[in-house]
Structure 1
């Protein structure tokens, strides 16, 4: 049993009102944490009647720090730093919460405050270790004092029902893990495949077994339960009907577990799935316990997303592989964008821009796509953003319509508010080389409510050529020594000023698509490349 500690309530403070400051344009940067993320674009605010963008920026920065576990930094953005840090830390540790996903909503200005009070609503998705995700809505009150905006600290900032008289308590009830076999009837166990721990626990819940628990609101003095805020697991336990047959392949899973050791001890996740039907062959996470970041994580996919961007451009004939595109070192669209290692490729073709992952070239083509077009292509052809029924809880991606020119530029290269994970990017790769989206699945017979269209054969042929060229002559050369027709794409995804970039790589060979992210791996080729090389070197070939 875990208990949120007794902490007295904090009172709100009023500050002297000052004149409303001039409105400025603010650009957001996505901040991605372990298995979770905050991402919200601020965009330009027009007119002096709306919320002060400095207030909104402070709210978004608070959410970014909280989600990334930078609790002292988050607390410093409040009116009560010492107390805020204590509460945030106790809330996280006491309820076994891993990195939360915090999404800001539309800010509102207090009409009676003369611009000195702003409220920013947000949604919270709190992953409770080994149980599931607790979701709720809350609000950030902000006030201006001495020309500086701060989150007006109170317990309800963390949760609207947290107060001086009521707190939260986590109750757990452990259960036997599900017995599971791979696609060929081989037994799967956590002892042999450690990173299947979270997956098998999730599959057990689907059968009415596995761990169960609840987050309860209780009286601080008596401990009396006032209400259950979130319940995890099922009380309807089925009769034992034998091992659960999964789509996993024990040989691929073993190879994936070994490959993770090439990540240098960083948090890493990968997925391997079949191109022709989406069946998942391996899911691996390091560390093995806790959050299933490979399936439920939320990350900026970086330049691996250029597969989708290229598809959108090729679908409408906006560019051809041999067209010359501009690839300067820098390009400014509200903020300065640059290529990895500030490289430049004068006179580059689109093929060269893809294989060398030229950010500025892709951003320079943003005018070829409508504001919603990238998201539309992701959803209609790749199934991203639709609801997937994988067999375990999954995050199925998000490609919001950009709020301003800067965010549109960022989305072209898999940044801004574009969110994915290894499951999504393995599926994107499979769709690109086959032309048809297949909902990924861990068990046969899962419900499929997705509706997608097939990519034209000409576009598929161009994508295959681009992916192959990236291995033979581009940034995915780490895979070049492998036998067979291997195609791939690297990605380097910015996280925040305080963290190194995440490294990505996707690849396909012999009808299998794979994707890997290495948190703070700096570059995709340097961090995810060795992992996928080790995986494809050891995995069975058809």
Structure 2
């Protein structure tokens, strides 16, 4: 790894500071590329091609394992089953597991592969299974691959490949507890209901039972007797104080209505979600999903945040004076760091400033600066200043983010642009935006009286000013120009996040205006500006320029 010292701070003697040249190409690590199967299940995209050879397990086996995880995660169960030694039963196992436990779209992340006895290849993976209306079930399992007579590799079809405790004698059962849906009101006392605001149905359900939300367990049971052998996962917390009367929320009926309408009119039938919250205190004004029923992906989803994460990457770089907005950081079409990375539509901006790299969302420029940060630094900044990865108490079940330390230089490169194994959702990215432009993290909340246990450090005023200025320039001169006709002092950051080699990219956009921060993701939206941009534009055009 390349660890560099601090770049000198900008001069304060009144003279214009010469712009430094931070060359992207000089920082590249050239490795011969070998394309092997599907690579995105390891989470290294976007726009990464080829894998570097090494002395580890056969790349063809690793590629087959990742392709299996890719297909499983995307719901291509016949294709996933076809990569196993017993396709006819593997498809049935995968289908029954998903449907029987009300699992939505899984997130499957491969870990470091190894060669086992007998020449088999073992690929561990982490599974994040979204259980409808309850939360995310996270566990670890592994794939075992064996070489076939024809020379190819297949995933050994065993029940344990789905989950280590699944077997011929044990299976899983989802038990849901009954929860009363309370009456609810917005911050001004306006009544809220799932009939009028469909996206709030899962939210209101989680406000029942004293705020503990829907409860349930995944149990391992004996296939023959149905006897419960153990509880694998528990969702929700039983409350000793039942909800009485009307629950007063932080939601705003005007913002919620506009958010629902924006998704209905602009999402083009794609899965999408949106969160809007107050910058000064973290109170959630709107949470919306399309489709509105089922899994609340806006607050519990697990997505690679793509280039919206460059808000945090920029913060990390600016905090240590590793770069300044006017420094030259070249933006070539391609950059190889174990894999070949490139920009959206293979764009390039030669001799660009770091500000330009931010506003045009240049992947290669950001990746070229990875040596300025230690391996843990991105995660430390996310946690220390933005609260990402700490335990949040929002008032409903949420996923609060993950920023693992990269396992190698290629994954570190991917992490710089919000890929690798970084996981977030619109709630997290709306909060990140609010923190970036105010300097202070406020734990998001949807109802009063929730316990706050996070501890964070304020961002320096200089860094906040630089982030606001770059986000503003992204609207006036960059990839978020779609928002430029809206009134108010508005800044934004777009993002594109790769899902797999066979699926269109997810589109992201985060924005701030007045005292409100917004984040939106559109699954298979291709680009942030093109897919999430119209949704955020529709929302902000329909609401006041600030929150009351």
Corresponding position of 2:191: 187
Corresponding position of 1:340: 344
Structure 1 residue 149: Cα displacement: 2.6
Corresponding position of 2:13: none
Corresponding position of 2:260: 257
Corresponding position of 2:17: none
- Cα pair 1:251 1:540 within 8 Å, conserved: no
Could you tell me how far apart the structure 2 residues matched to 1:295 and 1:472 are? 29
Structure 1 residue 56: Cα displacement: 3.9
Structure 1 residue 29: Cα displacement: 4.6
Structure 1 residue 249: Cα displacement: 1.1
Could you tell me how far apart the structure 2 residues matched to 1:26 and 1:382 are? 37
2:133 to 106, 125, 130: 130
Structure 1 residue 144: Cα displacement: 2.4
Could you tell me how far apart the structure 2 residues matched to 1:161 and 1:312 are? 41
Corresponding position of 1:8: none
Corresponding position of 1:167: 171
Could you tell me how far apart the structure 1 residues matched to 2:109 and 2:209 are? 27
TM-score, with structure 2 as normaliser:
0.86
1:91 aligns with 2:97: yes
Structure 1 residue 53: Cα displacement: 4.8
- Cα pair 1:206 1:391 within 8 Å, conserved: no
- Cα pair 1:28 1:43 within 8 Å, conserved: no
Closer, same or farther: CA 355–202 of 1 in aligned 2, 3 Å: same
Gaps spanning 5+ residues in structure 2: where? 1-33
> What SS is found at the alignment partner of 1:449?
coil
Closer, same or farther: CA 371–228 of 1 in aligned 2, 3 Å: closer
Closer, same or farther: CA 338–380 of 1 in aligned 2, 3 Å: same
Closer, same or farther: CA 441–44 of 1 in aligned 2, 3 Å: farther
- Cα pair 1:205 1:233 within 8 Å, conserved: no
Could you tell me how far apart the structure 2 residues matched to 1:399 and 1:521 are? 24
- Cα pair 2:333 2:343 within 8 Å, conserved: yes
Could you tell me how far apart the structure 1 residues matched to 2:38 and 2:399 are? 22
Could you tell me how far apart the structure 2 residues matched to 1:32 and 1:194 are? 35
Corresponding position of 2:75: 69
* Deviations 1:341-389, CA, capped at 9 Å, x for gaps: 2222222111111111122221222222222222221121111122212
Q: Equivalent residues in 2 for 1:477-492 (5 A)?
A: 477-492=481-496
Corresponding position of 2:23: none
Q: Equivalent residues in 2 for 1:389-408 (5 A)?
A: 389-408=393-412
* Deviations 1:404-427, CA, capped at 9 Å, x for gaps: 222222211112222211111111
Could you tell me how far apart the structure 2 residues matched to 1:32 and 1:141 are? 16
Structure 1 residue 218: Cα displacement: 4.1
- Cα pair 1:122 1:137 within 8 Å, conserved: yes
- Cα pair 1:30 1:415 within 8 Å, conserved: no
2:502 to 498, 502, 509: 498
Could you tell me how far apart the structure 1 residues matched to 2:234 and 2:439 are? 40
Closer, same or farther: CA 222–72 of 1 in aligned 2, 3 Å: same
Corresponding position of 1:277: 281
- Cα pair 1:207 1:238 within 8 Å, conserved: no
- Cα pair 2:134 2:397 within 8 Å, conserved: no
Structure 1 residue 166: Cα displacement: 3.6
Gaps spanning 5+ residues in structure 1: where? 1-23
1:247 aligns with 2:250: yes
Structure 1 residue 63: Cα displacement: 2.4
Closer, same or farther: CA 74–456 of 1 in aligned 2, 3 Å: same
Corresponding position of 1:302: 306
Could you tell me how far apart the structure 2 residues matched to 1:42 and 1:139 are? 23
- Cα pair 2:105 2:130 within 8 Å, conserved: yes
Could you tell me how far apart the structure 2 residues matched to 1:83 and 1:322 are? 59
Could you tell me how far apart the structure 1 residues matched to 2:390 and 2:237 are? 25
TM-score, with structure 1 as normaliser:
0.86
Could you tell me how far apart the structure 1 residues matched to 2:428 and 2:298 are? 9
Structure 1 residue 482: Cα displacement: 0.7
Could you tell me how far apart the structure 2 residues matched to 1:233 and 1:312 are? 35
* Deviations 1:284-337, CA, capped at 9 Å, x for gaps: 110101111111111111111111111111111121111122112222222222
Corresponding position of 1:469: 473
* Deviations 1:77-108, CA, capped at 9 Å, x for gaps: 21111210111112212222212233445545
- Cα pair 1:28 1:416 within 8 Å, conserved: no
- Cα pair 2:367 2:416 within 8 Å, conserved: yes
2:86 to 80, 84, 97: 80
* Deviations 1:188-228, CA, capped at 9 Å, x for gaps: 110111011111122225546x6554444444445455555
Could you tell me how far apart the structure 2 residues matched to 1:514 and 1:241 are? 32
Structure 1 residue 157: Cα displacement: 1.9
Note the aligned Cα RMSD (angstroms): 2.8
* Deviations 1:25-56, CA, capped at 9 Å, x for gaps: 989854599xxx9xxx9997865xx5545444
2:438 to 426, 434, 441: 434
Could you tell me how far apart the structure 2 residues matched to 1:458 and 1:375 are? 21
Q: Equivalent residues in 2 for 1:33-432 (5 A)?
A: 47=55, 51-110=57-116, 112-113=117-118, 116-146=119-149, 147-172=151-176, 174-204=178-208, 207=211, 211-232=214-235, 238-261=241-264, 262-432=266-436
Structure 1 residue 490: Cα displacement: 0.8
**Corresponding pairs, count:** 508
Structure 1 residue 136: Cα displacement: 4.0
Structure 1 residue 458: Cα displacement: 0.9
Asked which structure has the greater RCO (Cα within 8 Å, sep 6+), the reply is: 2
> What SS is found at the alignment partner of 1:270?
strand
